[in-house]
Structures are given as structure tokens and as C-alpha cells.
Amino acid sequence: MDKLVVLPALLAILPLFLILKLTFSWWVSPIQKHLKLRRCGFGGPPPSFPLGNIQEIKMKNSVNSSHGSSNLTHDIHSTVFPYFSRWQNSHGKVFIYWLGTEPFLYIADPEFLKKMSTEVMAKRWGKPRVFRHDRDPMFGNGLVMVEGNEWVRHRHVIAPAFSPLNLKAMASMMVESTNQMIDRWISQINMGNPEIDVEREVVATAGEIIARTSFGMKGQNAKEVSEKLRALQMTLFKTTRYVGVPFGKCFNVKKTLEAKKLGKEIDKLLLSVIKDRKKSSINRQSQEDLLGLLLRGNHQVDGKKFTTRELVDECKTFFFAGHETTALAISWTLFLLATHEDWQIQLRDEIREVVGDKQLDINGLAGLRKMKWVMNEVLRLYPTAPNVQRQAREDIRVDNLTVPNGTNMWIDVVAMHHDPTLWGKDVNEFRPERFMDDVNGGCNHKMGYLPFGFGGRMCVGKNLSFMEYRVVLTLLLSRFSFKLSPGYNHSPSIMLSLRPSYGLPLIVQPL
């Protein structure tokens, strides 16, 4: 009899409880955070909860693309981040904006970033939890997302994979994969079609390189993981989403389920690779790749081994991060060289002088000084990692401002790389010579140039990226000349990384 009375009462209370919970999460809590941040000294565009500033972010730019080489502009900040560009005009280079009910401290001021980062050790930076949840199908708890002592443990295990000895062993695989791509291009050109989407081709080849060098994968497995990761990236980042809005994934259930399904399919493929590696008898050299180091017992830290879940997440993280950024850097380089033939000729002359007709010697690639200037300038104009995210794990004091514990941060790399107050009037011109005598390219603040992030959490695979860039570009420039296709539509966009929206068709001719 008591149950018959209690059950209706619970059913009557439940809707009230849900309404109260929704009211608190959608309005009460974010308004309290908003008032606290204003008391701490931060302004910004006024939010409208529960969406925050998402509606403004969704507003499209009136002009976002251009055709042909005559009217191309490298002034891309207002195109890729139109909302940040608008807000900077009103609120300066440090302000608060809102993704749903999540506040983000926007930073495009290198001096503020320097003062803030000197207060915090690398392992005490967090990653925004809202992104960890949103990007879980792609990264899980890999190095990009882990924090604190777990980040130290993962970094300690992974770093030896990029030692000079291991990098040298990877070089021959890079050469082999690139030569296979070159053979495909020659066949296509001989069939009368010299227009090649170099971004698609280079991304695919870079995926094959990272699969072979880091995980010992070949053939169909590598291609399938690469294709599914790209599909997952498009699913997560090409559509308008409601990141930061409580229950936001319910607004687009189809895309949420699609991302989850792709994530599980990638996990399954990588798990089979891990299981095969565990079963096989591996020689010492193959043990020194990334997967080998992850599996080896003598790289335990604090007595903890990597779980199967952690192994899969690290493979997934490095498969994506290890090929995407380098491939896009090479792609944007070919685009810029196609529109600046003088630099294409200079690099080709330097390759002949340093490398000659000999077999590619990895040690000799360090002598390609002009190529290094070009790479630095490409990463300035078209940074493949266009932003850096952090989360405060303690209150951080900067002058008369306090960044409260738990505050998300968005460091706008594109804005700083295109800031005329940092780089001068020629900020939007392609001038690799600015890096001739200055590793910072003449930027008047050391924190104004962040192609690989900053501080202790700087990209662990930076040296691998440098080597792959030089190997691939040396082989391509030795065999081909590049011109921009009349059909190229210049529309850089952010899909986690900075990439051309409509591919990168170039006219490729054998030398």
C-alpha cells in the first residue's frame, strides 16, 4: 500500500527536479560565473544563456573566399575567426566569451600569455573539460588530453620514440612512401591530367608514413584508419554544434551517434593492430617505434603500465596529430610556392647545392637553411595548429586581474601571427627572409610566434615533423614545378586544424 502512495509522489517530484536542475545548469550557475569573472576584471561580448555567444559565432562572414592568384590575401584572421576579429575591435586582445554555459578567456596578447604562463608549471595546466568530452571519439585520453601526473607519465614513455636514432630509422620509410606518391602523380600527368589536389594526396601519404613509422602498419589497415579519422574530423568539426551547452549533443543526435560509431570503428582497427603486435615476435628495431615503446614493460612509470584503452587512445591521438599537422604544413607550402615562383626556384637551387644528385642523406637536410625559413613563414601565415587551449587548475594572478581556477582559455595563434603590432606592416606578406637571422622572424615578442604551442606542453613530435617536411618537400621540388590551378578557391577554414575548404588543386609539371 505504501508503494502505491510513494511511486506517484516520486513521479510528481521528478519533473520538478529536472526543471530545477535545468534551470541551475542553463542559467543560475553560468550567471554566477559571469558575475565572478566581471568582478575579477574581465569584460567581453554579453552572453545569452544557455547558448552563451554561440549564435554570434554562427554568423557567417560576407566575404570568405577568393579565386585565382591575383586577388589572394594571406590576411586570414577575419575569415577563419570572424567572431574573434569582431570582438577584438570592441573588447581588445583579452576578454571572456562563452560557449554555451562555459566561459573562455580569449588571449591574443603575447605579454599577457607570458605573464600567465610563468606562473604555471606544465603539468598544472589542464585541458578544457568541455573539449575533452566533445572530442573523446577522436582523442580519448591520449597525450593531447591527459593532465597532471598522467600527462608526465604519458610524455615520459612517448618522448624516446622521437630520438635522433629513431628518426633516422624512419627516414627511409618516408622516402619510400613519398616516391610512391610521385609515381602516381607521373602516371596521372602522363594520362594528360596535370591538375592534382596536393592536399588530399599529401595528407594520405603522411597518414601512410605515420602508420608505418610509428605503428608498423601497412596497406589497407593504415588507409582505413586514416580515412575514418578524416571522416570523424569532418563529422565533428564541419557542422554547427552546441559545444558547452548542457545536453547540447541532443540537438544533433545523428551527428553525435555518427561520431561515436566512427570512433568505435577506429578503436577496433587499432586494437587489432595492438593485439597483432603483442602476439608477434618483434625484432629490436621495430620495438623502438612508438607502439613498441608503449608496449614495452621497462618504460613503466610509477609502477603503472598502459592499459589497453590508453594504448588505443595514444595510437589514435598520434595517428591524427602525427600526420595532419605536417601534411597541412607541406600543402600550404606548395600553395605558397606555387604563387611565389621565385622562392620555388630558390629552394630548388638550394636542394641541388646541398643534396645534389646523391641519394637523400638525412644528415644533410639540416643544411637546407632557406627551406627552414620557408617552413617558419608558412607556419606563421597558415598555422596548422591555429589555437591552443588550456584550463586553469588554480587561480592565476596577472597584474590586477585574476583568472579563476577552472577558467577555460583559448589562445588565438592566427591572430598573433597576423598582428601588425607584432610583425610590422608586411605582416600579411609571404617573406621567408624575415627568419634569416632570427628564429622568431623579427616578431617583437617571443610569445607572439607559437607554431608548436608553448611551454612544457609543446608538441612532442616537433622534430619528426621537421624531418618529414624536409624529406617530402625535397623529393617533390626535385621532380616537379607547381602552379596554382585556375579552379583553386582560396578559403582557409578551421576543422580542428587549418585547412583549405575545397582542397588544393595545383598544376604539377615534371622538371
Task: Give dist(CA 87, CA 106) in Å, integer.
Answer: 10
Evaluate if residue 66 carries a pLDDT over 90: no
Q: For residue 301, give the DSSP letter.
A: B
298 pLDDT band (50/70/90 cuts)?
very low
Alpha helices in 95-218 (DSSP H): 110-117, 129-134, 136-139, 148-158, 164-190, 198-215
Tell me the sheet residues that pair with 499: 493
Q: Residue 28: which domain range? A: 1-39
pTM of the model: 0.91
| Residue 355 and residue 333 share a domain | yes
Query: How many alpha carbons lie under 13 Å from residue 25 in its C-beta half-sphere?
Result: 11
Alpha helices in 24-60 (DSSP H): 29-39, 54-58
| Residue 16 and residue 129 share a domain | no
| Residue 31 and residue 67 share a domain | no
| Residue 12 and residue 65 share a domain | no
483: helix, coil or strand? strand
| Residue 360 and residue 237 share a domain | yes
Query: How many alpha carbons lie under 13 Å from residue 343 in its C-beta half-sphere?
Result: 22
Task: Give dist(CA 497, CA 328) in Å, integer.
Answer: 8
Average pLDDT over residues 108-134: 83
Evaluate if residue 314 carries a pLDDT over 90: no
Query: Which residues are documented as binding site?
Result: 459
| Residue 219 and residue 338 share a domain | yes
pLDDT tens per residue across span 172-224: 889 999 999 999 999 999 999 999 999 999 999 998 888 888 888 876 777 78
17: helix, coil or strand? helix
- pLDDT given for residue 503 in this prediction: 94
- pLDDT given for residue 142 in this prediction: 83
- pLDDT given for residue 14 in this prediction: 73
pLDDT tens per residue across span 372-407: 999 999 999 999 999 999 998 888 888 889 899 889
| Residue 52 and residue 29 share a domain | no
pLDDT tens per residue across span 449-480: 999 887 766 677 788 888 999 999 999 999 99
| Residue 503 and residue 487 share a domain | yes
The number of domains in the chain is 2
Tell me the sheet residues that pair with 494: 498
The mean pLDDT value of the chain amounts to 86
Average pLDDT over residues 323-336: 94
Let me know: does 508 contact 196? Beta carbons within 8 Å. Answer: yes
| Residue 350 and residue 241 share a domain | yes
Estimate the crossing angle of helix 198-215 against helix 308-339, to 10 degrees: 140
| Residue 100 and residue 10 share a domain | no
- pLDDT given for residue 119 in this prediction: 72
| Residue 46 and residue 26 share a domain | no
In the block, which residue shows the cell 617573406? 431
| Residue 122 and residue 29 share a domain | no
Average pLDDT over residues 416-441: 96
Let me know: does 214 contact 290? Beta carbons within 8 Å. Answer: yes
Alpha helices in 280-340 (DSSP H): 284-287, 290-295, 308-339
CATH number of the domain at 466, please.
Answer: 1.10.630.10
457: helix, coil or strand? helix
Query: Which residues are documented as binding site for heme?
Result: 459
- pLDDT given for residue 330 in this prediction: 98
